[in-house]
């Protein structure tokens, strides 16, 4: 029997609609710049004819449940929300063809890719890794996962409010790389596994929150997500 010097960290997991059992989370992948209007607002337009998608990752330990109150994080003065459709992988897949991509889909969730924008932009412009800008403790917010096996979500309103005021409003049909294309491309780099979550990118309208703010968001036909921003640490 394996023994450990101290208790290993708990398995990161997310509730599943209609199931008592939790979805155990393996890895968190994030697609960068996947809506044209957001790419433009970041000053980095995308030309799909000559570019492939790019990705960053966060540790599964950065997950926070929808409805949580999380501290305003350290070392930032520009803490941003990014509303995203989250894809939950249910079967292994490597070099998955786009036309077969539906076969490994377990379901979807609504998520927030919380970002230290000030640190991310410095890192981006200096050619440094994004980790401290993106891999934020409790900065990967995820709703319950909605089982939608083999369903390819290709449209649906995606929106976010801060304290009830609309900040982001778009449609999943505006994804530059759609669900099938994301699975096909990401699975050329990684052996996708059950428990992997893929945050598919944010539409335009990203912005800052402050301690005390309440974020609410949704993806039509999928789920809602909420986050209360607590005091600064
Ligand atoms: Mn994002």
Distance 91 CA to ligand 1 centre (A): 24
Residue 85 has a pLDDT of 98
Q: Among candidates 228, 20, 222, 226, which has minimal Cα distance to 109?
A: 222
- Please give the pLDDT value at position 154: 97
Quote the ligand 1 centre to 31 CA distance (angstroms). 6
CA of 2 to the centre of ligand 1 (A): 38
Render each residue's pLDDT in the chain as its tens digit; 233 residues: 889 999 999 999 999 999 999 999 999 999 999 999 999 999 999 999 999 999 999 999 999 999 999 999 999 999 999 999 999 999 999 999 999 999 999 999 999 999 999 999 999 999 999 999 999 999 999 999 999 999 999 999 999 999 999 999 999 999 999 999 999 999 999 999 999 999 999 999 999 999 999 999 999 999 999 999 999 98
Exposure on the CB side of residue 79, measured as CA atoms within 13 A: 29
Distance from Cα 203 to the centre of ligand 1, integer Å? 9
> How far is the centre of ligand 1, averaged over its atoms, from the C-alpha of 96 (Å)?
23
CA 199 / ligand 1 centre spacing (Å): 7
The per-residue pLDDT for 57 is 98
CB distance 82 to 102 below 8 Å = no
Write out the residues surrounding ion ligand 1, Cβ under 5 A: 82, 113, 202
pLDDT of residue 117: 98
Where are the strands (E) in the chain, listed by range?
13-14, 23-24, 28-31, 55-58, 63-65, 69-72, 79-81, 83-89, 105-113, 115-116, 140-142, 146-147, 157-162, 165-171, 197-199, 207-208, 214-219, 223-232
Query: What is the pTM (predicted TM-score) of this model?
Result: 0.98
Rounded-to-integer distance, Cα 63 and Cα 61, Å: 5
Domains of the chain: 13-230 (3.90.850.10)
Cα-to-centroid distance, 114 and ligand 1 (Å)? 8
Contact 56, 200 (CB under 8 A): no
Residue 153 CA to ligand 1 center (angstroms) comes to 18
pLDDT of residue 66: 98
pLDDT at 1: 82
Q: What's the CA-to-centroid distance between 190 and ligand 1, angstroms? A: 19
- Nearest CA-CA partner of 68 in 227, 231, 217, 216: 227
Pairing assessment for the beta strands 214-219 and 63-65 based on DSSP bridges? unpaired
């Amino acid at each position: 029997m394996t023994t450990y010097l101290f208790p290993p960290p708990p398995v990161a997991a997310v509730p599943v609609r209609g199931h008592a059992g939790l979805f155990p989370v393996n890895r968190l992948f994030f697609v960068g710049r996947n809506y044209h209007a957001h790419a433009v607002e970041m000053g980095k337009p995308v030309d799909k004819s000559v570019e492939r998608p790019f990705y960053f990752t966060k540790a599964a330990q950065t997950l926070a449940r929808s409805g949580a109150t999380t501290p305003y994080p350290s070392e930032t003065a520009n803490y941003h929300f990014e509303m995203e459709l989250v894809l939950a992988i249910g079967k292994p897949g490597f070099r998955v063809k786009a036309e077969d991509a539906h076969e490994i889909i377990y379901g979807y969730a609504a998520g927030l890719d919380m970002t230290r924008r000030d640190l991310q932009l410095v890192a981006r412009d200096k050619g440094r890794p994004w980790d401290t800008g993106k891999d934020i403790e409790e900065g990967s917010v995820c709703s319950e996962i909605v089982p939608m096996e083999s369903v390819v979500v290709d449209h649906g309103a995606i929106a976010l409010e801060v304290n009830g005021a609309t900040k982001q409003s778009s449609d999943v049909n505006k994804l530059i790389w759609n669900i099938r294309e994301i699975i096909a491309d990401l699975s050329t780099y990684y052996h996708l596994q059950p428990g992997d979550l893929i945050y598919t990118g944010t539409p335009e309208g990203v912005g800052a929150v402050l301690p005390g703010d309440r974020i609410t968001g949704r993806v039509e036909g999928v789920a809602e997500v909420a986050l209360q921003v607590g005091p600064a640490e």
